[in-house]
Structure 1
């Protein structure tokens, strides 16, 4: 047990150093450069270099050096915690329901885009059916496949969230509920216990990638804030923001696919563990029964 706790503490310390302190140290250094250069000398790094050289040449007491290093370390950790906190807020925003403006307006816009794309798919399918003379003889050509890809790029189901990430999660829940009758909100903690270790590891890795992408968004905002003092920080922040959004989408897509895979492959095992073995594929009737049982609702008098 002692060895396990030591290994766990070492791993936590390494993660704290890699995720918070080192990126924080880079941000603190950038902030120092922003203060020293300002807008006037924004593209003259020699000015900051000369200041460092002058400070290094002067004699400084050990206490001052230690204080500077401690301040840099504390500043780095504080910046890392700030980025992590902003990332948590960003994750909440990505999953917002969109019941109030301006999120509600974003939902309406996404729905309009999706319905236009879906209408294009329906029109192409209707043309193909008319040309073939029978729905059974229709082959999905490249034009229909491209239209489907455009529609699915907006959302896999009719949009109901203001963000692509929120809609991807919503689609995963809808698809599992439609296929198996399982309410993932209730079922997931129990389903997790019957998953094999490799699938759990893959899901955890994808989840950490989502968290990392959200934290990168926090760093993008922190770098963007430095643009008030030093304008080159603005393109840095924009680049980080674009990278964070792209990573978040890829990680979310992978995570949702893994969650659906868990329901596809191990839904019957969950039913068996709950004493309702499925004789074949999991049916929606059995899934509804499992979801209702796990809700533990009081009986209707």
Structure 2
């Protein structure tokens, strides 16, 4: 297989999982290469995401690594053999790679759980809300760059608006609902949009009000994305240097616990809808 110059986040995840399986089996890259009858360089390239791996070789590696989780192996095979060219490919070379990786992650997700503290999650944003958020970026975006980002964000909404929507749970702080990223009109339309989505069977919205005692999770904004197998879940967080994808099991476990803790202290869905309705009427 030809060597890749810039593997996607999904290709890198496959590479990381194969390396983790090898290391868990206590084998060296040299031993893995000998099992497949290939060079050390080939194993290194596979485990760096620079080269693909066939289904036959992947299953042989899984067998040598004593991996018996058939669901996990099947998910890895799907990742290795997937040749999908999704809608996000039209943005390649026009937007940073992280935008494409996020859209691809959406496409393959089974469910998503979001915690929002200062901004409405991207999947729930209106075009004008997204435009306001992107327009405040530093360095400032050109009009073309701005509109590309807005179009991409609106296209991502297919996972909640398309023909096969996934379950999405959102815990959103009152601050994110009240902050006016532009003006009253944009804020009101955004609240109406959240209410519209929360009225569907697949989107659940819970609100954390300002008057909640003991709230200490102000830095917990995140998106927890369910992979095609539980071991392939991913947490996405925004950082000053860009989007961060987290996939270590210990960290995933901590984020799962954090989400459930926040969910437990938030308002029930119906009370949350009433809360958002009141905010909308104030505008």
**TM-score when normalising by structure 1:** 0.21
TM-score, with structure 2 as normaliser: 0.22
Which is higher, the Rg of structure 1 or of structure 2? Answer: 1
Higher strand share: 2
**Whose relative contact order is higher, 1 or 2, with alpha carbons under 8 Å and at least 6 apart?**
1
